[in-house]
Chains A and B, each alone.
Chain A
Amino acid sequence: MVPVIFETEQAIPLRIEDLLSQEKEDRWCLDLYECTPLVHGVSASGLRALCLYEAPDAEAVRRAVRHLGAPDNLRAWTAASFYRDGFTRRDWPWTDGPLAISRHEPPAEFQSPDVRPAGTEAEPLSPGNGAIVIADFVSLDRTRAIRLYAAPDLEAVRQISGPLSRHDLFAAVPHSD
C-alpha cells in the first residue's frame, strides 16, 4: 500500500462536514478498491478539498472517489512519505487535536528523486507555537508536495510555512467511521 493524495476543486465552497458526509457515499467503492481514508481537509477558501488515503495505487483512488464533483476536477497522485519527529504511519491519527495541511513545492531536502523515505530522519520542526510537523508527502515526480501538521489553527501553520494562498492551506481532520 502507498500514500495517495487526492485533490479536487469545487465551484461552491465546501465545509468539512459536507466532505465527510459525501465521502460516506463512496465507502462501498473505496472498500472494493482497498482504499483506506486517513485524513480529510478543506482549504481556507472552501474551494479545494484534499484527502490522504492509503491505497494499492493512485488509480484505485481515482476510480473509487466519485462524490467530489466532476471527474475532470479530480486529481490523485502517489506520494513518498517522510515522517518527522518520531511520528510513524502506525501512530495515526497522530494527535487528539486538529490537523492542518499545506500544499507547496517539495522541500529542498526531498527534491532529489534519490532521496527515499527511511524512517523519521528529518529534523523535528516545532517552533513552539503549538504547530508540529507530522510528515511531508512528495509526489513521485517531485513536482508537488503537501505537509501534514498537528496545529491548533491555520495561523500557527502560517507561522511555520510562510505566506500561503487560502487555496493551499487546509483545515483537516483524521478520518472517522
Chain B
Amino acid sequence: MEKEGAPLELRLLGELEVLRADVRVELPPSRKTRALLAYLAATGRPHRRERLCTIFWEIPDDPRGSLRWSLSRLRAIVDDSDAPRIIADRDTVAFDITRCRVDVLAVRALDAKRLDRISTPLLAEAADRFRGEFLEDLDLPRSHDFQSWCAAEREDLRRLNARILAELRRRHDADPETALTYARRLVHADPFNEDARADFLRLLMRTGRRQEAESQFESAERLFRELGEDSADRLRRLWRSERVAAGTRAAGLPPGPGTEPAPSPAPSPLPFIGRAEAIRELIDVVDQAIGTLKPHLATVLGEPGIGKSRLVAELAGQARGRGVRVLAGRSYDTRLGAAYAPWIEALGELPEVEAAADADRGRQRLFAAIASKVSENGRTPLLLIFDDIQWMDGASGDLLQFVLRSLHGMAVAVILAAREGELPDNPAVTAMLRSLRRDHPLREIRLAPLEAKDIELLVRTTGCEADIPRIVSLSGGNPLYALELSRSLAEQPEILPHSLKELVRDRLERLPADAAEILRWASVLGPGLDPGLIEPLCALGPDQFVRALESLERHGMLYPERGGGYAFSHGLVHQAVYTGLSEPRRRLMHLKIARLMRAKGTDPLLVAHHATAGGDTEMAVMACIEAGRQALRLFAHDHALLLARRGRHYADDLPEPTRCERLIDLAGIELGASPLDDAGDISARLEQLAETALDHGRAECAWRCYKMLADIRWAKGAWSDARRDTLHSELVSRVAGDGERVVALAEAARCLAMLERDLDTAGALVIEAEQLARRNGATSTAIADAAGLLAAYRGQVDEARQQFRLARLLARQQGDRLSEFLALEHLATLEIEQENWTAACALSAELMALAARIRPGSEQPFAEALHAICCEARSQSGDLAAFDRAMNALRSADSKHRITFAAVIAAQVLLDRGLIAPARRLAEEALEASTALNRRSGQAWALAMLVEVAYRTGEDKRPWQDRLRLLADGTLAEAVRRRAGAALAEPAAAT
C-alpha cells in the first residue's frame, strides 16, 4: 500500500488523481474502477450494492463479482490498515471522506450565492482547483446512468467555476494582466457567454495582444455562428468598436513573428525502432501458423502510446512482403463499440445474406458467409490484425471465434492488440480471450518502455534538434510521448508540460485558427476523418480547407489514410483535443453533426451517438431505434440490447404519448435481442405501457404490446402479423363500446384456441380482453375459457382447471347454456386427458344433463359418448352399446373434432383392455376426422394410438411413426406431445 498513513487527497476536477503526501498514486487501469472511486467520493454517502452494479455493470456477467474485484483494487490504494476508507457491508458501499481531502467537495463547500463575500485568496485557491473538467476523460459510454450523473455534475461545476472566475476577473479590473488570466480561463469554461468573450477580446486589446485578439475573434465568430447570426453579429459589432478604440485597422495586418509555430518536418512513415524481440516473436507466430496450417494467436499488450499499433503495422508490412494476405481492423471507443466495426474495416464491407426463419439461423448464415470471404484465398497464409480490442464489441468477438473454428487446413495468424489495463472493462472481450486461450496456441507479448537509446534514435529521425536527453528522460520510454515532446520543445523549449494531453493542447492553441477548428470538429466527429463531413461543419472555403488540412499534416496531428480520409496521429491525440473542448461546446458540436448526418442518411448508429451526446432526446431515441433494428438485422444482439437500453433512458424525457410509442418500439428491439425465457422484465413493462397507451387513447399501440406479450408467453404462431392485425382491426371496428369489444375479442380468442390456430394471437386477444374488462368492469366467460384452453395446451393443468371452472360459473350466471356446456366440456376433457376417471365420470354426467337443455346438435351425443367411455374405463364392464349409439349419433351430427376426441379416448381405453381391432378402427376414424380438420394434436394422438396398435400386433409401425414425427416437429398440445414422444421412443417392432 502506497505510503500508508500519509494524508490522502482525491482530485476529481480534471483527470482523476489520488495523492498521498502530495505524491501521485498509480491508479488501477480499469476505467470502471476509477469511476467507482470518483462516484463514491463525490457523492459522499453509502450506496446499495445493487445500485452500483446497475450503474457500472449494465450488461450483467457477474456484476457483484466485478464490484468486489474493483473494491479490492481500490482498498489497496486508499485504505490504511488501521483506518479503512472503503466502508462496505453485505448491502452497501461507501467512501469515508472524513479523513481525506476531496477537491470537488472543497469547492462545493463555498457559499456559491455569496461569492462576493469570500476572500480573494480563497476564491483564487478554489479556481485553481479546477485543473480541468470534472472527471476529465473518464467516460463510460456503455454506462448511461453514470454518464448522466457525470454530465450533470460537469455542468454544475462548470457553472460554479465560471462564476468564481467571473468574480475574480471583476476584482482585478485594475490589473489587466491578472484580469486577462481569469478572462481567458472564463471563456474556456463558459464559451458561449457573449459578455465574457467580449471582455476577453477587450482585455487582449488593452494588453497589446492584437494578433491573438484577431485570432480569438475569428474562432469566436465561427463558434457564435453556431448559436445564431444575432450572437455572431453582436460580437462583430463589439469587435469593430474595440478595434476602432484601439486605433488599429482590422484587415491587412501582417502576421507578427512567432504567431504560427514552426511546423515539424513533413512526417514520413516513422522507421521501426527497437522492439526487435517483439517483432521476432510475432513473425514466429506467423511462421508457426504457416508450418502447422492451424491458427496461431498472439496478444500485444501495453499502455497507451507504447507502440502497439506501430509494431503490428510493421508486422503487417513484413508479412505482406512475404506474400501473406493481411486483413486489419480496429475498434473505437467513441463509436460505442459499433457492431462488427473492426471486421467491416478489415473486409471493406459485410457480405449480404438471405433472411432466415429465426435469428440464430440468420446469424449462422452471416458468420458462415464472412468465414467464406475470409478464407477465399485458402492456400495463401492469412494474417488477421485487430487493434484496440479493449473496445471490441461482443459480436465481433463471437465472429472471430467462429471464423477460427471454420478455417480448416489454412495457415492463419491472429494478432490482437490491446491496452491491457482497460481489458477488464469489457467482459465480452475477456471472455473471448479466455476461450481463445483454451482452443488455440496464444502468446502474450507485453511491450515494455523503449530503451533510452531507442527513444533517442526515434527522436533524431524526426529531425528534432531540441534537448534530446531531456526528452528521453521525460518520456519514460513512451514513444508517443517522446514524439509529442520533441515537437513541443522544438517550438517552445521553455515549456515543462505535465502530461501528453497538455502537450497536445498546447500545440493546438498555437495552430492557425482554421487548422485548429478542423481538428476540433474532427475530434468530435470521430476517429476516421471524412473531409466531406468536416467541410460543411467548419464553414471554410475549399482552398482554406485544403490549406488547413495540409497544415495539420505538417504539424503531425493528422495523417492521410487510404481512401482519401484522414486519421489522428494517435488515439491519445484525438482524446486530448476532444476532452479539451468544454462540455457545452462539445454538446453543440455533437448536435450539429447529428443533424447533418441525419439529413445525409448516415449510419443511424452514428446519428444516435452524436444525438445523445448533443442532448437532442427525440433524435437520439429515434436513432437508437433505427440503429437497434439494424443491429438485430446483423444478429448483433448484445449491441441491439445496449442501444435499446440507451434509447429507453432518453425516451423517459419525452412527452406522452410519444414516450409510450418510442418505449414500445424499444421493447420490440429488446425482445428481438433477448432469449424469450429471459423476458420477465420486458413483460411487466409491456403491460404498463399498454395501460398508458390506452390512457392516451392509443389503442393500436396497446395492441402492439399485447402481440409482444403473447409472443413472450406462447410460441410464435403461423400467421403473419398482417393477418393477425386484420383480424384484430375487424373485431374492434365492428363494435362501438368497450363492453362489446371485450366480448368480440374474447370470442375470437376462444375460437382460435379451440381451433388450435395461431395461439399467440389468441393469447394477445385474451390479454387485451382481460385489460379492457378490468378497465370497464365487463365480464365474458369466453376470456376464462380461452385462457383455460391456452393453459391446457401448455400443460398447465391446474391453471386450466381453475379457468374452466371460472368460465363455467360466469356462463351459468349469465344464463348462457352453450358457453356453460363448452366450459364444462373443456373441464371434462381435461380430466380425461389426465385419466382422472372418477372426476371425468361425474363431469360427463353433468354434461349430459346440460346437453338435454340446449339446441340439437352434437352436444348430446358427445356427452353420452364421453360418459359411456368414462364409465367403461372405471368399471371395465365390456358393455359398449351406449358408446356405439352415441358415436353413431355423433357421426350424424358431423362434429369431427368431438368424433376425434371420443374415438381416440375410446381407442386408448380399448387398447388398455387388449381389444385391438375396435381400437384400431376408432383410431383410424379419429385420424381421418382430425385430418379433415387439419388439427395437429388430434392427428398426433390418433397416430400415437396406431403406433401402439402396430406394436401390439407386430405390424410395421414405421409408416405411422414417420407421419407422427412430422407432426411432433411442430407445436402440439402438451398432453399429446407426451403421448407422441412415448410412441416415437418405442423400440422397433418385428416386421
Contact = CB atoms under 8 A, between A and B. Distances in A.
Interface of A: 2, 4, 25, 27-29, 32-33, 56-60, 62-63, 71-78, 139-141
A75 B898 CA distance: 17
Interface in B885-931: 891-898, 929
Nearest to A25: B734
B933 A56 contact: yes
Contacts, number: 70
A56 B731 CA distance: 23
Interface string B718-745: 0000000001001100100000000000
B752 A73 contact: no
B855 A2 contact: no
Given A56-B932, A57-B894, A57-B896, A33 B855 contact: no
Most buried by B among A2, A57, A72, A73: A57
B83 interface: no
A72 B857 CA distance: 9
A33 B892 contact: no
Given A56-B932, A72-B855, A74-B855, A29 B895 contact: no
Nearest to A58: B894
A57 B932 contact: yes
B989 interface: no
B74 interface: no
Interface in B655-671: none
Nearest to B752: A32
Nearest to B891: A140
A151 B891 CA distance: 34
B857 A75 contact: yes
Q: Which 5 A-B pairs have the closest CB atoms?
A: A59-B895, A78-B894, A58-B894, A57-B896, A141-B892
B855 A73 contact: yes
Contacts of A141: 892
Contacts of B475: none
B245 to A, nearest CB: 83
B864 to A, nearest CB: 16
B894 A28 contact: no
B892 A140 contact: yes
A63 B933 CA distance: 14
A71 B896 contact: no
B757 A62 contact: no
A71 B751 contact: no
A62 B857 contact: yes
8 contacts: A28-B727, A56-B896, A57-B896, A59-B898, A72-B855, A74-B857, A75-B855, A78-B894
B159 to A, nearest CB: 62
Contact of B818 (A27, A56, A71, A76): A71
Given A28-B731, A32-B757, A63 B751 contact: yes
Given A32-B755, A62-B858, A77 B894 contact: yes
Given A72-B854, A75-B856, A59 B894 contact: yes
A4 B751 CA distance: 19
A136 to B, nearest CB: 18
A140 B933 CA distance: 19
Contacts of A2: 894
Contacts of A77: 892-894
A58 B895 contact: yes
A30 B857 CA distance: 18
Given A28-B730, A71-B818, A59 B892 contact: no
Contact of B895 (A32, A57, A71, A140): A57
Contacts of B896: 56-57, 59
Contacts of B972: none
B893 A59 contact: yes
